[in-house]
């Protein structure tokens, strides 16, 4: 009898459970189908030969061929003859056929839900974004109003992709606050009144009739950075979303770390005040944490105004960083103060986690090297080992892209399980 992981004479992968009993042939076929499908999806828009898929999966050619046949019958794969790159060569035997994953047969949506905007990305089953819709949220919008905005944005994004929302295979959403992922419930959302406890996931499932997942927004952003950003495939990573609010996504040993209560990474609530600086207020009526009140966009704006450095309306600090890049001494002094403050809080996290790499996202990160240069300088004296600090390359799409990745995972059962097409 074959050992675990060894193929039988018929080419099916034989597995043995922890109790020593081998799984049935139908389960083995499903596992092989999943392996071949994963290899095809990695190829993206490209096609792959049976020999290439066998090498990628470790399966035999007959096992790969059977898996491809099943996938073709379910409408997930099509075949085409090899396209010659040069003059046709003499053929020996049957011409090689190339398999292609038909990513266009299904779509998922990733949603970034925030107090100021809702961003929806609709992607095919290979993760390629086919439509995007961004909607502004009215200042002070309540939870029910935000939910209406989410439904409207989902409908608009699906329409731009040529779909009805009910045609989506899965939806994942990221939101600020502490999220119970198993129940799909927001437990605490200081920045959005009336959002915590709202049965948004259940209502979306009833409407869309597909899996709907909910997670903390920054936890999704770090997944996108690890998959698509400059920190791709990094096993230890901290992603900091730095805007008016500050949150952190953490990956340790290649796995997201959320903490015992799903509250890990709330850097915005770190208190750096010393003794005698006044009473501790970890959660004020405005929902802002102590560190956010120290280095969030509003705090940076106040520092700039006090120093006579240029700023825009509201909390617009882009003019500050533009002036600093141009050498304005007042702006440079403010940026240095902000970098010093931020380094104090960030170093606390780095000394505990030692991630080796930090990616900064959010609106403040758009300052680029004008801010990151001073930040690295102030970190050097506060950490025991060097750390790489860089800006996100995904911009404001990081949360929605991470949600797309999570939605694709939820659609996996439909891809590899019984046919639904």
Cα dihedral across residues 217, 218, 223, 228: positive or negative: positive
Phi/psi at 415 (5° precision): -70, -40
Asked if the model's pLDDT at residue 151 lies above 90, the reply is yes
Q: Which residues are registered as beta bridge partners of 305? A: none
Q: What is the pLDDT of residues 283-323, one digit of tens each?
A: 566 678 899 999 999 999 999 999 999 999 888 999 999 99
Phi/psi at 269 (5° precision): -105, 10
Fold classified for 1-81+96-101: Arc Repressor Mutant, subunit A (1.10.10)
Phi/psi at 97 (5° precision): -110, 145
Phi/psi at 9 (5° precision): -65, -25
pLDDT (0 to 100) of residue 417: 63
Structure tokens of 327? 């050498």
Please identify, in words, the CATH class of the domain defined by 230-393.
Answer: alpha beta
Q: How far is CA 43 from CA 53, 63, 102, 120, 127, in A?
A: 10, 19, 11, 25, 12
Q: How many C-beta neighbours within 10 Å does residue 419 have?
A: 12
Q: What is the pLDDT of residues 189-213, one digit of tens each?
A: 888 889 999 999 999 999 999 999 9
Give residues with Cβ within 8 angstroms of 88, minimum separation 6: none
Decide if 251 contacts 225 (C-beta within 8 A). Answer: no
Average pLDDT over residues 109-126: 95
Distance from C-alpha of 337 to C-alpha of 316, rounded to nearest angstrom: 18
DSSP 276: T
CATH code linked to domain 105-219+399-416: 3.30.420.40
User: Which stretches within 92-192 are classed as H helix?
Assistant: 143-160
Decide if 137 contacts 116 (C-beta within 8 A). Answer: yes
Q: For a pLDDT cut of 70, what percent of the chain falls above it?
A: 86
For CATH 3.30.420.40, the residue range(s) in the chain are 105-219+399-416, 230-393
Asked if the model's pLDDT at residue 265 lies above 80, the reply is yes
**Among the listed residues 212, 218, 297, the one whose alpha carbon sits nearest the alpha carbon of residue 259:** 218
Phi/psi at 183 (5° precision): -90, -10
Give, in degrees to the nearest 5, the angle at Cα 253 between 177 and 377. Answer: 75
pLDDT (0 to 100) of residue 16: 38
Q: At what angle do helices 217-228 and 398-416 cross, to 10 degrees?
A: 80
Q: What is the pLDDT of residues 154-180, one digit of tens each?
A: 999 999 999 999 999 999 999 998 999
Question: 233: pLDDT confidence band, cut at 50, 70 and 90?
Answer: confident
Q: How many C-beta neighbours within 10 Å does residue 56 have?
A: 17
For CATH 1.10.10.10, the residue range(s) in the chain are 1-81+96-101
**0.85 exceeded by the pTM?**
no
Residue 96 region, left (φ>0) first, then alpha (ψ -120 to 50), else beta? Answer: beta
Distance from C-alpha of 25 to C-alpha of 19, rounded to nearest angstrom: 17
Asked if the model's pLDDT at residue 11 lies above 80, the reply is no
Strand-strand pairing, 48-49 and 97-101: antiparallel
The counts of H helices and E strands in the chain are 12, 15
Element (H, E) at 320: helix 318-325
Asked if the model's pLDDT at residue 230 lies above 70, the reply is yes
Distance from C-alpha of 218 to C-alpha of 361, rounded to nearest angstrom: 10
């Amino acid at each position: 009898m074959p050992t675990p992981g060894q193929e039988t004479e018929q080419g099916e992968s034989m597995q043995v459970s922890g109790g020593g009993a081998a799984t049935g042939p139908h389960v083995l076929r499903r596992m092989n189908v999943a392996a071949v499908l994963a290899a095809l999806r990695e190829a993206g828009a490209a096609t792959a030969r049976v020999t290439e898929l066998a090498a990628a999966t470790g399966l035999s050619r007959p096992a790969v061929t059977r898996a491809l046949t099943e996938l073709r019958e379910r409408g997930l794969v099509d075949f085409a003859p090899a396209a010659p790159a040069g003059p046709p060569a003499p053929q020996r035997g049957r011409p090689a056929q190339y398999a292609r994953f038909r990513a266009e047969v299904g779509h998922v949506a990733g949603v970034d839900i925030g107090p100021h905007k809702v961003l929806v990305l609709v992607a095919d089953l290979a993760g390629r974004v086919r439509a995007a819709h961004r909607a502004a949220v009215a200042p002070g919008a309540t939870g029910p109003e935000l939910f209406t905005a989410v439904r409207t944005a989902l409908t608009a994004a699906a329409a731009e992709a040529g779909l009805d929302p009910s045609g989506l295979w899965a939806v994942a959403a990221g939101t600020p606050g502490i999220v119970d992922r198993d129940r799909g419930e927001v437990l605490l959302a200081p920045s959005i009144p009336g959002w915590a406890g709202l049965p948004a996931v259940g209502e979306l499932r009833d409407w869309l009739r597909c899996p709907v997942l909910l997670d903390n927004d920054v936890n999704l952003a770090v997944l996108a950075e690890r998959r698509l950003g400059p920190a791709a495939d990094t096993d230890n990573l901290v992603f900091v979303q730095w805007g008016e609010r500050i949150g952190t996504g953490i990956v340790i040993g290649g796995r997201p770390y959320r903490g015992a209560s799903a509250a890990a990474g709330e850097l915005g609530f770190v208190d750096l005040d010393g003794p005698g600086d006044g009473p501790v207020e970890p959660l004020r009526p405005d929902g802002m944490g102590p560190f956010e009140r120290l280095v969030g966009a509003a705090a940076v704006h106040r520092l700039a105004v006090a120093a006579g450095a240029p700023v825009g309306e509201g909390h617009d600090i882009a003019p500050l960083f533009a002036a600093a890049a141009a050498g304005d001494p007042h702006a440079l002094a403010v940026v240095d103060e902000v970098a010093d403050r931020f380094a104090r809080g960030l170093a606390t996290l780095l000394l505990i986690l030692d991630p080796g790499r930090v990616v900064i996202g959010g609106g403040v990160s758009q300052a680029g090297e004008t801010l990151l240069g001073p930040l690295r300088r102030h970190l050097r004296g506060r950490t025991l080992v060097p750390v790489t600090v860089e800006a996100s390359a995904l911009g404001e799409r990081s949360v929605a892209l991470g949600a797309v990745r999570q939605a694709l995972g939820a659609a996996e059962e439909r891809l590899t399980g019984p046919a639904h097409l």
